[in-house]
Chains A and B, each alone.
Chain A
Amino acid sequence: MATERSLRFEGCNFFRQRVILSTLSGKSIKLQNIRAKDDSPGLRDFEASFIRLVDKITNGSRIEINETGTRLYYQPGILLGGAVEHDCNVQRSISYYLEGLICLAPFMKHPLKAVLRGVTNDQTDPSVDTLKATSIPLLKKFGVDGEGLELKIIRRGMLPGGGGEVFFSCPVSKGLKPIQFTDPGKIKRIRGVAYSVRVSPQIGNRITDSARSILNKFLPDVYIYTDHMKGVSSGKSPGFGLSLVAETTAGCFLSAELVSNPQGKGPAVLPENLGRDCAKLLLEEIYRGGCVDSLNQSLALLCMTLGQQDVSKVLLGPLSPYTIEFLRHLRSFFQIMFKMETRSFDEQKGGEKVLMTCVGVGFSNLSKTVK
């Protein structure tokens, strides 16, 4: 059998994209020169941890890493799913891993029930709260639905100690529906979570007030939950933050978030400032607009690609660099090119948008069992 030659990539950027797309497309990948010129060359712990997680949810994958860790060969197996527990590395937050899992979860053999432990909120990655508020409803749009689809934050863990725990479960789907998601609608409500662990419970209220002061200029329906966790469920380090989500009439979710500086790093942040800045970030996100917020652009595009052989359309805000690279990867893994048209709207409706159109590859869940 003439096996395909594996795809080669340089460096470790967009590591997750490559691993995920490789798993979904069945094409093996070779990553070379991973931090080859760096002082500490090779894969970092969090990447290794991600690879381990992928190994846990698949069956028959082959992973080869050379001694220095600068080269990785990954031949994907079949997505297995089931109950998985994983201790995520605290260098990155849980959502680093979760973003990958969300992409793979609908295509498992058995419904995925994953328990991830580590950092739930940090400054580099989107927080789990945001993923819960935006990615899950997006998956529902593509027909991944049912009892099982949920994301629960059991414990909160902040940097540097971590100690958070998240439960993610997702049902298995046979294929994804094509979507036509070109009208974002109008924002009808803004919700948010102001969380605080191992600090004064008043901080939540302070954040809420300052954020509302800005958002109420636009919309009366703003409600921010204060989530103060105590005891075991508060993780190992102190911290607080805010995650905001704006929901539109058409069911789009735009999000923004901000987290305090981790203990011992950087100056202390005033909760009022944090709340205000976060609200402004949300406005910024609304200005960018689109039907999918900037975090989930790639997820939406992936789901469109993996849909049936029908035309899918989605309206996005400006493409993030991550998404742009993702588009390139989609082309090299699935030979899918998106038609991109820029759309500009009236003056009072934010910045320019991009209308992404593609024909799905007709992906079907090969792991699922039929009886």
Chain B
Amino acid sequence: MEGKEKKKHMKKHSGPKADKKRKRYLKDLGLEGEEDARKRNPKAFAVHSAVRMAKTFHRTQDLKTKKHHIPLVDRTPLEPPPVVVVVMGPPKVGKSTLIRCLIRNFTRQKLTEIRGPVTIVSGKKRRLTIIECGNDINVMIDLAKVADLVLMLIDASFGFEMETFEFLNICQVHGFPKIMGVLTHLDTFKNNKHLRKTKKQLKHRFWTEVYQGAKLFYLSGMVYGEYQKQEIRNLGRFISVMKFRPLIWQTSHPYILADRMEDLTNQEEIRVNPKCDRKVSLYGYLRGAYLKNKSQVHVPGVGDFALSDVSFLPDPCPLPEQLKKRSLNEKEKQIYAPMSGVGGVVYDKDAVYIDVGGGRVKESQEEEEQKPSQELVQTLIATHATIDTKMASSKVSLFMDSKPLGAEDVQDMRSSLPKEELVVDPETGRVRRKAIFKDGNDDDLTGEDSNQDGETSDEDQEESDDEDMDVGSENDEEGDEKMSEMNRRPIKRQKAEDSEKKEIVELPAFADSDDELELSSAEEEDDMGVVVEENEEGGLDRVEESVSEHDEDSDEDLKIEDIGNKFESRKVTSKKTKQAEKHTPLSRGGMHTATDSGNSSGDASNSDHHSNSELDTEVSDSEDQNIELRIHSSKGPCGKMTKKDITELLVEEKYEEPNDPCLETAGALKWKEDLAQKAAETFLKQKRAPNLRKLVYGAVAEDEGEEENNQDELGGLFHVSRPDKESRCKINGLDCSKFPVDSPQDWDQEEVMNSIRDCFVTGKWEADKDAAKLLEEDEEIYGDFEDLEKNIVHKGKVAMQIDEAEAEEDDEEGEEKDVDEDEEDKVVITEEEEKQQRLQKKRKQKELFNAEYDEGDVTYFDELKEELSKQAQLNRAEFEDQDDETRVQYEGYRPGMYIRVEINDVPCEFVGNFDPHYPIILGGLGNSEGNVGYLQMRVKKHRWYKKILKTRNPLIFSLGWRRFQTIPVFYIEDHNGRHRLLKYTPEHMHCGATIWGPITPQGTGFLAVQSLAGTTPDFRIAATGVVLELDKSITIVKKLKLIGYPFKIFKNTAFIKGMFNSPLEVAKFEGAAVRSVSGIRGQVKKALRTPEGAFRATFEDRLLMSDIVFMRTWYPVSVPKLYNPVTTLLKPVGEKDSWAGMKTVGQLRHEVGTKVAHNKDSFYKPIKRQKRHFNPLHIPRYLQKSLPFKSKPKNMEKKGEAPRDRKRPAVIKDPHEKKISALLSALGVVHSYKVKNAKIKHRQQHKEFLKIKQKEEEAKLQRQKEAKKKIYRIIGQREKKRLKASLTGKKQR
């Protein structure tokens, strides 16, 4: 150790110690305390050049303005949809683990398997939809388009993988969402230094890809297969406070990341043709922009569809109501992931689902104290008898004190069934179905229908195919289908069913009870009075009854605090019998949830608890539940005391008793809550104004379907055509925008004239705009002023008044003690008034001041921003006070809503091959974005892609929402604007491309991939670019050279053949420019008679027979019309990443094994050039004469041999002379050598001399410098002292 040399001490340049030293040094110099460089070194900051100063100023201003983004109108809704977090990374990097950890972090729940998007509440104002992005490039492309935030997982032990870069590139093309890197597998590093180094390396690479300083997270190690809690918590915090920039594509298009899919197709149709097109409903949060009903959407991987129906549902994963507290409580930490089988209660348009098997794993603690509501559900599940047997035995009491009715009673009363009749409400225009009692039967009319109905319900049961996506729950699915079927069926069938009652009763109950429910509930809506009578058919109430009977057994040990839950849940059951239906046969163990169907019974309680809690939240607010409860309680046949007591207790405790008897009977329907009030409101509204809306949009806006059905059909068979005379003459009327005056007023009368007086500037003005009043006000504000010259204070009126008032106040204060209370009140009032006046005045002055003050630096940018923020405010405020139903009609479904979308004619493979791991996106299309046309785009081959792209090779594009295969044609724009065809893309340059594809707005980015199938180690993205122009025709041309040969040459004219085939062709090209190979230019003149296609052409010079004449023409190129949407979602599960479209010729050749057919003419052969013989230039004599002498050919005589006397004789040396010359040359060599050496030496000497000189010079300079420094310091100190002295001097003296 000692032998080793110790490390030298390094002087510190930074840190506290170095600072201290520097300070000390400065103190020594006497310069301490002057931290500011500007002060310390004023010379350096002096103005030397105005030009440079201006330049720097410009530059700083440029940089400042560069930072601005174009301000956009803030269109984020008040309750924004969940943020889409895409977790992306190569396989085995820990994506699912991360998602699971995040979910656990936010909701304290553990998901076993994650399928599809998971929505969670992450904070008071934020929800997240987390979705995993697999390694399939299709998924990567789709998710990059909807992502708000990307968590990019990187295996640190391995480094970056191609997928990461591909994904980054995809993101860049389709708008750049926020990207956060997450490094995993950091525990594999044993060497700490190596770890640090890798981290740094990865970080910097990541930064170059995203932006400098992009956030990169490190997940160090795993604990029991999960990431460390603290790290996940930090990550979660980062996510939940992150801010997002709006992306253009996303904000201008509505889109839905579907989290649930259901097949609504009629089971019968599927049975008949299993490959029939399906009707599908999709659910999800709407994001981006407003979605209009009936608009077009694109589902990437499937195709284009028109929305057949859209409806909004209550939020399944709502944000907590605004409360003043710090964190969420357990109840508010919701999770919603229907495809993974979590989410508690799910409200559908026509059903409610209760999740029974839950994701909670707290079973051990809570198993003992099962909540009664859980019992309810459990009992429902555990029902053994079928519903119809129960129904037969069950009894219903319709009114509180009435005799309970059994099934037999119902059948007796069948004869007096109500018949429905359509009544159009004259006031609202709504079509209502009034129930009318009639004695006669009209079975014969509807008999046929009923038969059909029986069939369908039969078949309904038979079907139990496992088509559904919620795997275990066949029943649920079945129910669904039935519901939808019911919706479609005309309501008239009811009568038929009634007449065929017996037959139906024999069927398993839920088949028709459903019908009854549907009908009765539908009728309930229309007429409350009749509801009860109608229910006697038994459907609804019996089911309810069976339910309630069943749990009466377990009722006894109810706890009061749980009642709310219980009744609430029962309400749900009664209201939507569907659920009951679903759960009764669930005794088999079929669960609503897909994942946990195995261990359901164990989990049931827990999940139930969960759902209960959700129900609980519902309970507290709505009043009609109260009514509901009452009905339930009264319904018990012998009225069990316990239950009644409880109900009463509950009623006393929580609710006010409703007084309206009508309400009591009406029961479950919420809308009836404050009917009278609503009616009054609508009446008032109508009184206020003629309903313009109805005038314009008709009754259609209110309920479309019903009306159409009822108007046109009579008894379901005959179509009533009522020729509307008005419309008949209207449809061919005069198309004119003028609005003629029907009954002109008499404008000579004074009254009439007065009616528009105020429309003119000469009329009366409003108070705030009247010039005279404004002047007055100004006086109030500017009233006080002081004439400085004359020392007079002018006071405005108000100021005087106020002064007086103040004086009065002072007086009053003194008096105040002995005035009565009444007077005191008065005083208070007057004081308040005064106060308000003063406040107003103050505010006005403040505004004035602000306006004056701000005027100076209001830029265009600020103004624009202001304007846009105003617009945003208006957007928010305009429809705020309206209820969602009408609001939706005006502005469409707004982002943030949870909506359900129905689509018709979906290929059956979409349902059959459904895989929840693949995201389903519904991308809304703008106007005419559903059409196809030619797109011109700017393309650049990706620099990492190894091949260049060939024109007319099929390529897969990702553009807008779509992925599709098409055939691009590449071109480049020439200087004159011509689009010249390119055979291949340039290697490092942009070029143009034209494709036949979907119309997409200009400026949209796209990327192209050669093939989606399989995996290659290479980079897969072939090209990127942007759409420039849309058109229905194209302008690409390619060069075509026509070649001809002269067959007769006159002076400057030649006859050319071989270029065209007919005189007609020539005629088309008359006047066109031609050129010979030697560069002689010419023009096509006229066709010759023989040979065919020959023509006369003139040239600027005489052609040679050996010349070739060619003409350069441009030939238009056509773009193949291939538009082939990529349908990956239709592929079977497991093969979804193997979509292969059209193949390239090259691929086909490779597969078949044929070689390229070569054109022999195209081969390169060695060029054999014959030696060309040129004749000597002959200048005619007359031309020679006129040439200047210089240019004249000189006819020089050839020189003859030199004459003898001119020739020099040769010198012959004798031996001595030879010796002398040899010696001389030797001496010369020696001398030159010496000289050379001397030169070198001299040069060296001089160099040394220079060195010494320089050293001396330096030393001298150093000395001088020191001296100067000393002198300056002294001078400086003196100066300082003098300054100090001058500052303090006065005092001393």
Contact = CB atoms under 8 A, between A and B. Distances in A.
Given A349-B759, A370-B1002, A13 B75 contact: no
A84 B1232 CA distance: 92
Contacts of B889: 337
Contacts of B296: 4
Nearest to B693: A340
Interface hub of B252, B930, B1032 (most chain A Cβ within 10 A): B1032
B730 interface: yes
Nearest to A308: B73
Interface stretch (A191-199, A226-234, A279-287): A279-287
B290 interface: yes
B1266 interface: no
Contacts of A286: 756, 759
A249 B761 contact: yes
B692 A348 contact: no
Contacts of B1134: none
Contact of B735 (A15, A178, A295, A349): A15
B289 interface: yes
A249 to B, nearest CB: 7
Contacts of B878: 311, 313, 339, 357
Contact of A350 (B306, B755, B927, B930): B755
B289 A348 contact: no
Nearest to B292: A335
A231 B692 CA distance: 50
A270 interface: no
A12 B690 contact: no
Interface in B721-764: 730-739, 741, 744-745, 747, 753-764
Contacts of A8: none
A366 B999 contact: yes
Interface stretch (B323-331, B835-843, B1023-1031): B1023-1031
B732 A34 contact: yes
A278 B798 CA distance: 51
B934 to A, nearest CB: 9
A282 B1170 CA distance: 92
Interface stretch (A138-146, A201-209, A321-329): A321-329
B1183 to A, nearest CB: 55
Interface in A329-371: 331, 334-342, 346-350, 354, 357-359, 361-364, 366-371
Nearest to B887: A339
Interface stretch (A149-157, A161-169, A214-222, A237-245): A214-222
Contacts of B933: 60, 78
Contacts of B305: 2
Given A99-B737, A287-B755, A214 B874 contact: no
A219 B760 contact: yes
Contact of B759 (A126, A186, A220, A361): A186
- Interface range on chain A: under 10, 10 to 19, 20 to 34, or 35 or more? 35 or more
Contacts of B252: 309, 362
A214 B1033 contact: no
Interface stretch (B694-702, B949-957, B1200-1208): B694-702
A295 B732 contact: no
A1 B736 contact: no
Interface in A1-26: 1-4, 10-17, 24-26
A185 B932 CA distance: 46
Nearest to A320: B739
Contact of B737 (A38, A298, A335): A298
A342 B692 contact: yes
B294 interface: yes
B892 interface: yes
Contacts of A319: 692, 696
A263 to B, nearest CB: 22
A11 B290 contact: no
A283 B1002 CA distance: 47
A11 B747 CA distance: 39
A228 B292 CA distance: 52
A125 interface: yes
B383 interface: no
A363 B697 CA distance: 23
B1003 interface: yes
Given A186-B760, A218-B762, A124 B738 contact: yes
Given A319-B696, A337-B889, A359-B891, A217 B753 contact: yes
Contact of A188 (B692, B695, B761, B891): B761
A359 B290 contact: yes
Contacts of A118: none
Contacts of B762: 218-220
Contacts of A324: 695-696
B763 A348 contact: yes
A76 B75 CA distance: 31
Contacts of B734: 13, 124
Contacts of B441: none
Contact of B871 (A178, A186, A357): A178
A68 interface: no
Contacts of B1033: 59-60
Contact of B927 (A26, A99, A354): A26
Contact of A310 (B73, B303, B739): B73
A359 B890 contact: yes
A363 B294 CA distance: 17
B481 interface: no
B1032 A1 contact: no
A1 B891 contact: no
A171 interface: no
Nearest to A342: B689
Interface in B871-909: 871, 874-875, 878-879, 889-892, 905
A186 B759 CA distance: 5
A1 B732 contact: no
Contacts of B760: 186-188, 218-219
Nearest to B692: A340
A178 B878 CA distance: 14
B306 A4 contact: yes
B80 interface: no
A310 B875 contact: yes
Contacts of A3: 930-931
Contacts of A125: 736-738
A210 interface: no
A26 B928 contact: yes
Interface string A284-318: 10110100001100100000000011110100001
Interface hub of A2, A33, A96, A371 (most chain B Cβ within 10 A): A2
Contacts of B755: 287, 347-348, 350
A366 B925 CA distance: 13
Given A126-B738, A321-B739, A324-B695, A358 B890 contact: yes
Contacts of A188: 760-761
A1 B731 contact: no
A245 B291 CA distance: 41
Given A2-B304, A78-B1031, A310-B871, A280 B1002 contact: no
Interface of B: 73, 75, 252, 289-290, 292-296, 303-306, 688-690, 692-693, 695-697, 701, 730-739, 741, 744-745, 747, 753-765, 871, 874-875, 878-879, 889-892, 905, 926-933, 998-999, 1001-1003, 1028-1033, 1123, 1125
Given A1-B303, A60-B1032, 12 more contacts: A3-B931, A12-B732, A25-B927, A78-B933, A96-B736, A219-B761, A309-B290, A324-B696, A328-B697, A348-B757, A359-B290, A364-B926
Closest 9 CB pairs of A and B: A26-B928, A60-B1032, A11-B731, A320-B739, A335-B292, A294-B739, A348-B758, A342-B689, A13-B733
5 contacts: A219-B760, A336-B292, A348-B757, A350-B755, A361-B927
